[in-house]
Amino acid sequence: MTLTLNDPLPSDDPQENTQLAASTAPNTPPASTRRQAENGQAPAKPHRDRVIDLLRFGCLVVVVILHSMMSAAVLGPSGTVEPVVALSNTAGFAAASWFFQIMPLFFIIGGYAGITGWRRTRARGGTWTDYLRARLRRIVVPVAVLIGLAGLGLSAAGELGVSTDLLAEASLRIGQPLWFLAVYVGLTALVPVAVHFHETAPRRSLAALASAVIVVDGLVAVTGVTGLGYLNFLFVWPLVQQLGFFYADALDRPVRRFLAWAVLAAALLVLVGLVSAGVYSPNMLVNLNPPTGALVLLGVVQLCGMRLVHARLGRMLNAADENVSTSEAALDPRALRTQIWGRVITWGNRYGMHVYLWHMSIVIVLIGSLGTLAQAVSFVPGASDFVLPEIGSSWWWATRLPWLVAVMVLSSLVAMAAERIPFPSEQRLASIGRTIVEVAREMRGKGSLDSDSGADDITPVASQAGADDVTPAVGCPRLRAAIAVGTATAGVVVALLVGIAPLIWTLVAFGLLMVSLILSAGLAPRDARVIPPRRPTGR
């Protein structure tokens, strides 16, 4: 199969593939699309942008490289392996952070994907729950697989005698990348609302969020209470996501290069000025937690840069002539380059999330293996320093390339294996949810009958209504969707803040994620589900 710039790339979610196939079918535009055109709204984009997919995968690679370079270990005074953070105090690290701090770009791309995905869903007559169901499954399933397997692995390591302190450190390090997904789940749930404000009052929405960021940063500066900065989780990332909405709309218009360069230079100058004045840290990683306005300005710089190179990258990724024969294409270097990049993008779309989730587990295992080897050869003079070199030494820098290659290769292999782990389908999860509801209804009915002995005539009627209407609020699709988002976020937060060891925390986090998946699976349209008949519960 030959992929072109306008072809949708395959997804790891069958529901998403079905939606993409439907969105590209040559049917008459639906009424919702025509109404968007009449109202001046941007129409739904029916295809995925390969440039966006490539940039998103590139951001993942940068994150893996950064985390791998900053992860190291040393042998403590007692000979124990102690994980440490490398490079943070290295000269030039703060300046380098301006280049590898790509989280704003991540959220801009997320905003682009969110608005295009929602417009596709809306154009087909879909609802918020339809949009959320597909997105939640794509995010939550890989996280559930990671937490379940990593938690079991750490528990097994504890049984084999690994120290509790090392297990606790490994648990927190494995959960380190999950903060992004916790925020992303919340933003995904709010995309329809955010798009509404973007389409009705784009500039005012942007100004309101920017003002809130400035107020929070000002309060932190005036009061000195750093904890107030965490309020910016509610404003910084929604604001950066909103920039992604503007980017999605701008792709249909010609690039105004002078304006893009002017905005890029202005944002960069303002950021440099605020950093020089001491308002923000020169280390962009420090500005990440809690997030500050520095990341918004950096996001504007990255957005403008992406706008300037988007067309050129698009030509590179679609340089092959679709009309040439296969033999001619094999001899055309441009066609070969396009095919290679196409395969990279396809691989990244399928396995990128797993690489992001599993790379810290690989780093922890490698560090533990090197530490064990260093302990084993410590009786040989200089051998332990050879295995675990002093951070920042010449030998340490010389080993960074093979270290990165090892992390990348192993992360890729584990990602491909994790993607193939069987997981209950959406239909099976929906069936489990219906079974749970039926059991609850049966228990509610029996409980009502048991409590009705000797009651007056009005009690059985109330009892019957309660049995037939068990958990009516949870049956509301919007409320069920909100609960699904809440439980998914809670599961990720448990793994992020508490960790997944001891095993009880694995069970808690995994259980919350499964509840989220079961609830979201039940959001499928009623005509697409088989609803079993209710069992009689009356006397």
* Digit-coded pLDDT (tens) for 42-80: 444 445 788 999 999 999 999 999 999 998 888 877 777
Q: What are the tokens at 325?
A: 């024969």
What are residue 72's DSSP bridge partners?
84
Q: How confident is the model at residue 528 (pLDDT cuts 50, 70, 90)?
A: very low
Verify that 401 and 445 share a domain, yes or no: no
Cβ partners under 8 Å of residue 509, min gap 6: 147, 151, 491, 492, 494, 495, 500
Q: Is residue 23 part of a domain?
A: no
Q: Are 191 and 127 in contact (CB under 8 A)?
A: no
404 with 447, same domain: the answer is no
15 within a domain of the structure (yes/no): no
- If one counts every other C-beta atom within 10 angstroms of the C-beta of residue 311, the result is 13
Phi, psi of 70 (to 5 degrees): -90, 0
Mean pLDDT of 184-190: 91
CB half-sphere exposure, 239, CA atoms < 13 A: 25
pLDDT in tens, 233-252: 999 999 999 999 999 999 88
Amino acid 320: pLDDT? 55
User: Which has more confidence, 532 or 235?
Assistant: 235
Choose one of 395, 419, 443: the last residue of a domain. 419
Final residue of a structural domain among 419, 445, 467: 419
Residue 7 lies in a domain: no
CA–centroid distance for 64 within its chain: 14
| Overall pTM surpassing 0.85 (yes/no) | no
What is the domain extent for residue 153? Answer: 44-419
Question: Of 141, 120, 115, whose CA–CA distance to 130 is shortest?
Answer: 120
The dihedral built from the CA positions of residue 515, 137, 239 and 288, taken in this order, carries a sign that is: positive
CA distance 120 to 454: 58
Apex 381 CA angle, 375 and 386, nearest 5: 65
Q: How far is CA 297 from CA 239, 243, 422, 478, 510, in A?
A: 11, 11, 42, 35, 37
Task: Establish if 260 belongs to a structural domain.
Answer: yes
Comparing 280 with 523, the larger pLDDT belongs to 280
pLDDT digits (tens, 9 = 90+) for 257-283: 999 999 999 999 999 999 999 999 999
Statement to judge: residues 218 and 331 lie in one domain: yes
Q: What is the DSSP string of 492-537?
A: HHIIIII-S-SHHHHHHHHHHHHHHHHHHHTTS-GGGS--PPPPP-
The answer to whether residue 539 is domain-embedded is no
Per the domain annotation, does 27 fall within a domain?
A: no
Q: Are residues 516 and 494 in the same domain?
A: yes
Top-confidence residue, 537 or 113: 113
Predicted pLDDT of residue 74: 83
Q: Tell me: do 411 and 442 sit in the same domain.
A: no
Q: Are residues 403 and 441 in the same domain?
A: no
Of 419, 440, 471, which residue constitutes the final position of a domain?
Answer: 419
84: three-class secondary structure by DSSP: strand
- Tally of domains in the chain: 2
Q: Which helix (H) or strand (E) holds 114?
A: helix 103-123
Task: Kindly state whether residues 432 and 296 are assigned to the same domain.
Answer: no
pLDDT for the residue 325: 52
176 and 66 part of one domain: yes
Residue 72 located in a structural domain? yes
Please tell me whether residues 435 and 370 are part of one structural domain.
Answer: no
Tell me the pLDDT tens digit for each residue of 73-106: 888 777 777 888 888 777 788 899 999 999 999 9
Same domain assignment for residues 375 and 471: no
Q: pLDDT tens digit string along 161-180?
A: 887 878 888 888 888 889 88
Q: Are 221 and 215 in contact (CB under 8 A)?
A: no
What amino acid occupies position 135? R
- 221: in domain: yes
Q: Same structural domain for residues 323 and 262? A: yes
Q: Verify that 504 and 434 share a domain, yes or no.
A: yes
Distance CA 281, CA 70 (A): 19
pLDDT in tens, 476-491: 788 888 899 999 999 9
Average of per-residue pLDDT across 432-459: 66
